[in-house]
Amino acid sequence: MNRRRFFREGLREILRPLGSAIEKFADAAKQISDLENLVSKPPSAPAAPQTWLRPPGAVSESLFPDMCHRSGECVRVCPVQAIKMDPSAYKARGAPYIEPDEQACVVCENLACTTVCPTGALVPTTRESVRMGFALWHEDTCLRRDGGSCTICVDHCPLGSTAILLREGRIELIDGGCIGCGVCQHDCPTYPKSMTVIPRT
């Protein structure tokens, strides 16, 4: 082995531990950086639902957000302030919506919101023809499951027996009768709710 090769091989052997140390340091630095990003990164906002409970008389969800001009007239005339709007447009794309847990639509006699909409996004209709959604009964959380006598959802329904019945101890929702107003969900005493409304799409 000539002198040049001898020194080259010797230098390589000397530097080998240093290269390994540098590689380990780089891996550790990357792990620290990943951990810092994980800790410092704010949690992402939950994804907004794609469907929302809209006021009575609303056109289909595919049309409603674009037809509505966000005038707020329906919000103004709602007798129980069930209709809400989110100026940030995060909820319901900024268009009128109802959250039954906060305040359900009581299906007021003249359905005032449907008569003041300036764009036709809400169409005048009868109480029986309203189709906001459809309620579901969750027997596993219902007080009746263990022999309770609760009938709040039946007693408080604005449409009465045309929408919901107590039959042989079980809650029965009438297809075509339930309009999805959300009163049963709002008034249900259990948590999680034993009555929930699925919005019309």
Summarised one tens digit per residue, pLDDT across range 90-130 is: 999 999 999 999 999 999 999 999 999 999 999 999 999 99
Residue 4: its pLDDT value, please?
A: 59
Exposure pattern of 99-136 as b/e (b: 16+ CB <10 Å)?
bbeebbbbbbeebbbbebbeeebbeeeebeebbbbbbb
Q: What is d(CA 54, CA 180) in angstroms, rounded to the nearest whole number?
A: 10
Which region among 14-23, 114-123, 170-179 has the lowest average model confidence (pLDDT)? 14-23
Helix locations, the chain, DSSP H: 3-40, 64-67, 73-77, 112-116, 152-156, 183-187
For residue 1, the model assigns a pLDDT of 54
Confidence of residue 18 (pLDDT cuts 50, 70, 90): low
- Contact predicate 200/137, CB 8 Å: no
- How many angstroms separate the CA atoms of 144 and 149, rounded? 6
Q: What is the mean pLDDT of the chain?
A: 86
Structure token pair of residue 58: 């609303």
Residue among 100, 112, 118, 120 nearest 179 (CA): 100
Q: What's the start-to-end Cα distance of the chain, in Å?
A: 83
pLDDT tens string 43-94: 444 444 468 999 999 999 999 999 999 999 999 999 999 999 999 999 999 9
Contact between 122 and 114 under an 8 Å Cβ cutoff? The reply is yes
Rounded to whole angstroms, how far apart are CA atoms 156 and 116?
27
Q: Does 24 or 111 have the greater pLDDT score?
A: 111
